[in-house]
Amino acid sequence: MQLNPGSNVVMARYLCVVLSLLTLLLSLPSLAQDRSVRSSLSSTTITRDESVTLTIVARGLDAELDASSLTQDFDVVGRSSSRELSSINNSQPTSVVTWALELIPRDSGVFTVPAVMVGDLSTQIHTLTVNDTPTGAQRDIFIEASVDTQSPWVQSQVMMTLRVFQAIDIVDGGLDVPSGSDLVVERIGEDTRSTATRDGRQYSVTERRFALFPQKSGQIVIEPITLSVSVPAQSDRVRGFFSPTRKLIRRTDSITLDVQSRPDSGAAWWLPARSVQLESQWVGDVANATVDQPLTRRVTMRASGVADTQLPDISIPAIDGVSLYAEQPERAMNADSRGLLAEQVINWALIPQRAGVLEIPALSVEWFNTESGEMETAVLPAEMITVSAADSPSAATSNDSAGISAAQKVTPPSDKGLPVELTQSGSAELGQSTFGSELQQASDPLAGSLVGPGDSSVRMDALETSVANWRSAALALAVACLLMVLYYVLRLRQPGNSVTDKRDSRLDTRLGAVRQVGADSLQRIKPMAEISASAKTGDLVGLRQALLDWSARQWPDDSPLTLDALAQRLPDSEARLTLTTINAAFYSRGASTSPSELLNEKLTELPDQLAQALRSHDNGILSARTESNSAGNGLPSL
């Protein structure tokens, strides 16, 4: 039996069509189930400033969520999403995407939650009822804000206290920082917790404090402060790690400050505070002060109701007969129940230069009492220090180094009131006599301070021994110098030392001397160059440091430590006026490190003014060392 090839082909095609139709019919139910979008609300009734969660579930869709329709009546304060594979009735796994949107209504009333789009599919709409924020005992959480004054002085402290009352658990949350235009805010301390009863309901209270400093006069509005917390969605259920939550937002009312302007008191520095104190403490035995022995004075300024940056610098007074050296001030800030506490400590090293009674001038700081509304002055009274002369061995050594003449007589003090005169034959022998006396006193620890007639032979023996020792030392030194000269002469006569080598050696020596003179000149010119550079750029901070460096060149033994002290060293001239103006720019009201236009013109003339002031000063403003250097190289001492 023969088969028809054509009929076989028709039969095969028929079977393929039947199988394709069967496959399509079997897959239609699953396709209808896999492409879908649905949504749900976590609650249909909420209160204002409470969130509700809108959940959207999309199956079988590879598209993004478009929730722009919600922004008309709601704020979207939270958003999360997740993706997984799911199957129904052992069908092929399908992608499932879930979005959770946390919404807060902008008003109270009945709202329609519109449909949102996922690809070409949309969700159903929902109805949401929003009630007013609960009051009285119905409140689960609320916040209060208060200030200690609503009419502060400009740049004075305003204490603000925030209290959060809660009757339910808080999962997490945050509290905004007070804010407002022209307002500086400092947080004070840590949160404190207590309990309180409001409207017959018990609350746990968390208190947080801030110090506010209004920077201009007039009305300043403190914006409402927002508390945003997450709480369990159902407060009566036991809270677990994955328990659903809802968000609550509570706000304070805005507060308006009527800031008073600074009174016209004439004070250079504006320091509004509750109290200001000055204290002084000496480190060292000030009762036994001695010439050239340093003492340390620690001055402390304490102020309440201000920040440490508001404290003025303590000016170092010029003290006749005392060299002063100041450390950088140390600042610190703390707080108490009434606000900030600021402290500034400065240490001064005082080195008396002469014996006698020295007066430490009084210090004063002007400040404004914010409680009384009056200007006050904190004063550190003047102090008197009795300085004794240096010990006699130091004085004798000083006289020896100064080169006392041969005919000079030294009268050592005597406890009996009778001077004992010793006439020496030369300045060297005077030093030997003193040295011998020291040896005698050191060798006999039982010897007193008085020398009787019976001790003259002992002193003369010690003197002769000391002279013999000095002569031996001088002879040894002379022999050593002679041997060194002979060594160099023999070395120069060696064959390797040609005339060219000697000339090169002398040339190198001269070049080294020239380089040294140039380096010395550069060191003298450098401070004035820095003054000129800072004056041209208007850098007041750099100019002040450059001026103090320059003054240290002019008075190396007793240099001024402040611009005020430097101005007093100069004669009555344009330079003194300019220095006074620069110093006032640092401590005047609204002080700034950027000079005004008028001051900027004076700064460019300052180097010439300083040179003119030095030339016109005829009271020995330059030290003898500085004058000799200037005459030697033809360069001004800068």
Cα separation of 573 and 550, whole Å? 18
Looking at residue 426, what is its pLDDT?
35
Average pLDDT of the segment spanning 550-573: 77
* Choice between 527 and 462, residue whose per-residue pLDDT is larger: 527
Q: Where do you find CATH 2.60.40.740 in the chain? A: 136-259
Looking at residue 130, what is its pLDDT?
93
User: Bridge-partner residues for 574, per DSSP?
Assistant: none
pLDDT band at 581 (very low <50, low <70, confident <90, very high): confident
* Choice between 445 and 199, residue whose per-residue pLDDT is larger: 199
Q: Could you count the other beta carbons within 10 Å of the beta carbon of residue 600?
A: 14
Average pLDDT of the segment spanning 78-107: 84
Highest mean pLDDT among 434-443, 496-505, 568-577: 568-577
Average pLDDT of the segment spanning 27-34: 51
Report, in this order, helix, strand and coil percent for the chain, each rounded to 5: 35, 35, 35
Give residue-wise pLDDT tens across range 601-630.
677 788 888 877 776 654 444 333 333 333
Cα separation of 185 and 191, whole Å? 16
Looking at residue 242, what is its pLDDT?
59
The answer to whether the CB of 64 falls within 8 A of the CB of 29 is no
- Token pair in block for residue 341: 């506490």
Name residue 627's amino acid: E
Looking at residue 183, what is its pLDDT?
94
The answer to whether the CB of 123 falls within 8 A of the CB of 129 is no
Looking at residue 560, what is its pLDDT?
76
Looking at residue 26, what is its pLDDT?
53
The CATH classification number of 272-387 equals 2.60.40
Backbone φ and ψ for 219, nearest 5 degrees, come out as -85, 130
Answer whether residue 439 shows pLDDT above 50: no
Answer whether residue 34 shows pLDDT above 50: yes
* Burial of 523 from C-beta contacts in 10 A (0-12 / 13-18 / 19+): exposed
Looking at residue 508, what is its pLDDT?
56
DSSP 39-104: EEES-SEEETTB-EEEEEEEES----EE-GGGGGTEEEEEEEEEEEEE-STT---EEEEEEEEEEE
Cα separation of 201 and 207, whole Å? 18
Give residue-wise pLDDT tens across range 173-198.
899 999 999 999 999 999 999 999 99
Looking at residue 190, what is its pLDDT?
92
Give residue-wise pLDDT tens across range 269-327.
899 999 999 999 998 888 889 999 999 999 999 999 999 999 998 887 888 889 888 88
**Mean of the per-residue pLDDT values for the chain?**
76
Answer whether residue 8 shows pLDDT above 70: no
Looking at residue 483, what is its pLDDT?
84
User: Bridge-partner residues for 619, per DSSP?
Assistant: none
Give residue-wise pLDDT tens across range 224-255.
999 999 988 876 655 555 578 888 999 999 99
Cα separation of 348 and 324, whole Å? 7
* Choice between 632 and 536, residue whose per-residue pLDDT is larger: 536
Looking at residue 563, what is its pLDDT?
77
* Choice between 473 and 212, residue whose per-residue pLDDT is larger: 212
Cα separation of 286 and 299, whole Å? 15
* Choice between 434 and 157, residue whose per-residue pLDDT is larger: 157
Looking at residue 406, what is its pLDDT?
34
CATH of 136-259, one of 3.40.50.170, 2.102.10.10, 2.60.40.740, 2.40.30.10: 2.60.40.740
∠ at Cα 281 (278, 285), nearest 5°?
A: 160
The answer to whether the CB of 140 falls within 8 A of the CB of 162 is no
Answer whether residue 153 shows pLDDT above 60: yes
Torsion angle (degrees, nearest 10) of CA 588, 592, 597, 601: 80
User: Bridge-partner residues for 218, per DSSP?
Assistant: 259
Question: Is the CATH code 3.30.70 the one for domain 33-131?
Answer: no
Looking at residue 405, what is its pLDDT?
37
